[in-house]
Structure 1
Amino acid sequence: MSQAPQSHDEGPIQTPQQLMLAIVLAFVVPVTIIALLVNYVNSAAKGGAGSSALAPEAVAQRIMPVAAVKVQAVTAAPGSRGGEDVYKAQCASCHGAGALGAPKYGDGGAWAARIGKGLDTLTDHAVKGFNAMPAQGGGDFVEVEIKRAVAYMANAGGAKFEEPPVAAAEGASEAK
């Protein structure tokens, strides 16, 4: 019987030092390549959509309140407001809804007995307070403004009171 010749293929690694070098390079080279690729990808400038989402202006815009309150000082000179202005500024809060027995604006039945007392009596009650109503309805007006507001409300309830004229309106009508 004949035997086939045996061949021994030897690889490129001949010594234990070469084996150690191959093992180290098999781990170090791929890790180094991966680290360099990650660094390259992260170093590029991002210019896509949403890139300014964390900018201070964008954050401020997102957390901005829905509404804002502006406080302004009233520049009207004392005695220059008309009856309707005073009514809307102070009287409407109670007389608009009839709160605490206040006669409602425009309710002729509720105003009838009060109108009979006269404009001066109604004005005195409004200035000094009457029953549940505090003085000036809790506002801060001059007496002539209160008188205009009383006349305005009473006239809406059926009275025929003459509302005292506004000083600025008098000067404007005389200039004409």
Structure 2
Amino acid sequence: MSEAPHGAPIKTPGQLIAAVIAGFAVPIVIIVLLAYYVDNTTRTGAGTDELSAQQVASRIAPIAQVSIRDANAPRVYKTGEQVYQAVCSACHASGAASAPKFGNAGDWAPRIAQGYDTLWHTALSGKGAMPPRGGTSPDDYSDYEIGLAVAYMANHGGANFQDPPKPAPGAPGAPGAANAASGAAAAAPAASGADANAAQASAAAAAIAAIPQAASGNPAAGGATQSADAAQAGKALYTQVCQACHAAGVLGAPKFGNKDDWAPRLKDPMDTVYNYALHGKGAMPPKGGSNASDADVKAAVDYMVSAAK
């Protein structure tokens, strides 16, 4: 038997040269393409800008941030729509947790029938699944701004409430006297009601400004002398919480500085008055719906009682 002759694949010098060149060129091309692919993926893939100045700055930025504001600068209040978008829309936009849906007249009709005073008080103190102030603090949004949001939502649900009067410069940002402003929209002439509420707010602000100067020396409600710290704590809690109703006498609350309103309350022992403030009475929730300490609540009571003497 004879075997078939084997032919060499390279038969000419040209083929040899081509094979040599291909042996070098093909691996080089493959390496270049792989390198380009890897480099291109690195440049366009997610997270590859981590060495950029912006990314580096964000990684080394301190966790705590300090925001410095001029305490003497005039406060710029948010509009009712802005407060709604930032806080209230989380539930009211969709009607979550039984919240009256924004723009739904059927949901808002029974609430509107209660009057603006009740709606505002509910927003400030909370009800059902809604936390007080929608889960914000007075440092985030003042009572006045919460009132604007309440009027904004109610009016889009069929009401015709007026915005509460804007606090006067230098006065607390949450005048309780504004609570009565909405009632004028449905009954008495709106202009006269707003003027009366503004006057009430100014009177309350003047009383608040005058009391702390003598608070440390005035007899406290229990017969002792208030310390300066207790007086300041009482004033602060009144400004943040109590004045929402007591500044204008909303929902039967004894009006700040009104001796006639406070006289029947002060016939009871001060321990009884403290107990009402701590545990609630009538429309007033325990501690006014706040999480203040018992000592601060009593200091706020002393502050209001001192103003009514």
TM range (shorter): 0.5 to 0.7
Asked if residue 61 in structure 1 is aligned to residue 58 in structure 2, the reply is no
Question: Is the contact made by 1:78 and 1:142 (CA closer than 8 Å) also made in structure 2?
Answer: no
2:142 counterpart letter in structure 1: V
Question: Is the contact made by 1:79 and 1:166 (CA closer than 8 Å) also made in structure 2?
Answer: no
Once the two structures are superposed, what CA deviation does each residue of 1:48-99 show, in whole Å capped at 9, x if it has no partner?
A: 66653333x740422348xxxx9xxx9xx96521111111111111111111
CA distance in 2, matches of 1:109, 1:43: 76
Aligned length: 124
Asked if residue 96 in structure 1 is aligned to residue 93 in structure 2, the reply is yes
Mapping for residues 57-136 of structure 1, pairs under 5 Å: 58-64=41-47, 80-136=77-133
CA distance in 1, matches of 2:97, 2:28: 72
Larger helix fraction of residues: 2
Extract unaligned runs of 5+ from structure 2: 1-19, 49-57, 59-66, 68-73, 168-309
- Relative to structure 1, the CA distance from residue 131 to residue 59 in structure 2 (aligned partners, 3 Å threshold; closer, same or farther) is same
Q: Which has the higher contact order (CA 8 A, sep 6+)?
A: 1
CA distance in 2, matches of 1:44, 1:94: 63
Question: How far did 1:115 drift?
Answer: 1.2
Structure 1 runs of 4+ aligned residues shifted over 4 Å read: 36-51
From the CA coordinates, give the structure whose radius of gyration is larger: 1
1:170 aligns to what? Answer: none
CA distance in 1, matches of 2:34, 2:165: 62
CA distance in 2, matches of 1:119, 1:163: 10
CA distance in 1, matches of 2:27, 2:105: 80
1:53 counterpart letter in structure 2: Y
Mapping for residues 1-176 of structure 1, pairs under 5 Å: 41=25, 51-55=35-39, 58-64=41-47, 80-140=77-137, 141-164=141-164
2:153 counterpart letter in structure 1: M
CA distance in 1, matches of 2:166, 2:37: 56
Question: How far did 1:165 drift?
Answer: 6.8
Compute the RMSD of aligned alpha carbons: 3.9
Determine what percentage of the aligned residue pairs are the same residue.
37
Question: How far did 1:159 drift?
Answer: 0.6
Extract unaligned runs of 5+ from structure 1: 1-35, 168-176
Question: Is the contact made by 1:79 and 1:144 (CA closer than 8 Å) also made in structure 2?
Answer: no
CA distance in 1, matches of 2:84, 2:121: 16
